[in-house]
Chain A
Amino acid sequence: MRALAHRSRPAAYTAVPAWIVVPAAIGAAFILLPLLAMALRVDWPRFGALVTSESSLAALGLSLRTSAASTVLCILLGVPLALVLARGRFAGQRLLRALVLLPLVLPPVVGGIALLYTFGRQGLLGQVLTVAGIQIAFSTTAVVLAQTFVALPFLVLSLEGTLRTAGTSYEAVAATLGARPSTVLRRVTIPLVLPGLASGAVLAFARSLGEFGATLTFAGSLQGTTRTLPLEIYLQRETDPDAAVALSLVLVAVAVIVVASTYRRPPGETAAPREPAPEGARP
């Protein structure tokens, strides 16, 4: 069977059979066609007015702010977690990895319920927090927590893979050169896995942006405080489907920009020819 050839790389041989193109095209169409269908339903004359309404702007602004906050939180918690999973050696490590990745497969509503019983007023930690005067439910903090819960595994998975492929040899060299573990982390490990960390953070941001179920269950829905863009779309659908479609398109556009930025090669990468490409580490 004839093999696929890539126009820009004439010499490279790939063992992919040509007929693969057909199911691949169907697969791509399966994802792209619904998005196109939605774009076709947009009420373009009203589009500007629909997406710039007070509630839409409030929702978009809130979504961007909370997603940025949860991405920061994901980095603060996810980098240490990925390091422990990739470099540590302890009993129950495999189990811990499996459990940490659970939010990837859990329905977000389940995550919301779990968070409610943790940080809610009657929750495990919530009771203590309430005594301390901290109320999380119905606050923007709750939105950030819900988003972090579902997005953290993306960052951990992406970074752990990069850490494993990067190996420990550079870290060993740095240690014998006299660098303390913290110095090794700051000056060697993190810079080396920066591409993986960046793509993990982008994935986490994108996942946060799309978070719906856990937020709805755990944080509630109030304009400017907890009603993120997906929740606004869900609500707008009740009265103004045109507005819902227009906002959906905005969300798709933001997601496309964010995800596309991951696939742009970071400038520092050419300096590390022996380093594995971050794409190889992605789940």
Chain B
Amino acid sequence: MITKTTTLLATAVLAAGALAGCGAGTPSAGSTTTAAASTSASTPALSGTLTVFAAASLKATFTELAKEFEAQHPGTKIQLSFAGSSDLVTQITAGAPADVFASADTKNMAKLADASLLDGAAVNFASNRLTIAVPPSNPANIAGLSDLARDGVKVVVCAPQVPCGAAAVTAEKAAGVSITPVSEESSVTDVLGKVVSGEADAGLVYVTDVKGAAGKVTGIPFDAADKAVTTYPIATVAASKNKELAAAFTALVSGDAGRKVLSDAGFGAP
């Protein structure tokens, strides 16, 4: 019941925020011969507000990329909304005014494609792989994936229903290891949180999460992670009112500038 309420409220707030953004952007979108157009003569004149729905794991990188985009195209504004990919799909399906959607897995993107809610095909722009996160002191002396199957080691993973959990199951199978977790969380953030707080001895998270945790956890890579690489696609939403701007942002993310920012954060090539 609570989750339901939270979602409903969140949707309402998001919708309100996005509407306000659109309202501010619409008038200038019609008049293209403004100061923004004259400053960069080489690129087509871009203006208006772009609402980007992105997977929670993209928070740091997309925030940086949005700033970069706004600097390159004065007069534009990127409104970012981060949440779990499936939450975002639910919101877009319910009519939330997103222009661009960046998912943490291809499955959720496929849901929008199947519902004909995308404008054109999605572009894969990054990949992420699992790693073992342990507290800096590594109390259970974890060295590899097989250590997670030891008795008495408290391991936290994502539930198989969510992308990071599905990847964990794939990796376990590939390595022939069977882990008995003490908890199966709904989001990778919750897995990381339990390792950071020291409650868990180890957790299976993304490489980017370890990098983002800035020393609060140590990452221990393992071979089978190669078998469970997740791919991040990005696409323009069919209902977008500013597809030109959406295309420009998507191009930035999947281009060289995006590549650099993403790889600095630990993302792999798509």
Contacts and interface: CB of A to CB of B under 8 A. Distances in A.
Are any A and B Cβ atoms less than 8 Å apart in their complex?
yes
A222 B182 contact: yes
B3 interface: yes
Interface residues of A toward B: which range? 20 to 34
Contacts, number: 85
Contact of B4 (A38, A219, A220, A235): A38
A265 to B, nearest CB: 27
A137 interface: yes
A237 B3 contact: yes
A252 B1 contact: yes
Interface residues of B, number: 28
Interface string B3-36: 1110110000000000000000000000000000
A239 B90 CA distance: 11
B186 A231 contact: yes
Contact of B186 (A116, A219, A234, A255): A234
Nearest to A137: B199
Nearest to A116: B197
Interface in B184-200: 184-186, 190, 193-194, 197-200
Contacts of B161: 235-236, 238-239
B4 A233 contact: yes
B162 interface: yes
Contacts of A212: 2-3
A78 interface: no
Interface in B119-154: 154
Given A210-B1, A212-B3, A230-B3, A221 B184 contact: yes
Given A120-B199, A226-B183, A220 B156 contact: yes
Given A34-B8, A138-B183, A221-B190, 8 more contacts: A121-B199, A122-B199, A212-B3, A226-B183, A234-B186, A235-B159, A236-B161, A238-B186
Interface of A: 34, 38, 116, 120-122, 137-138, 210, 212-213, 216-217, 219-223, 226-227, 230-231, 233-239, 241, 248, 251-252, 255
17 contacts: A34-B5, A38-B4, A122-B198, A138-B154, A138-B156, A219-B183, A220-B184, A221-B186, A222-B181, A227-B184, A230-B2, A230-B3, A231-B186, A233-B3, A237-B90, A238-B86, A239-B161
Please provide the 4 A-B residue pairs with the shortest distance between their CB atoms, ordered closest to farther. Answer: A220-B183, A138-B182, A122-B198, A239-B161
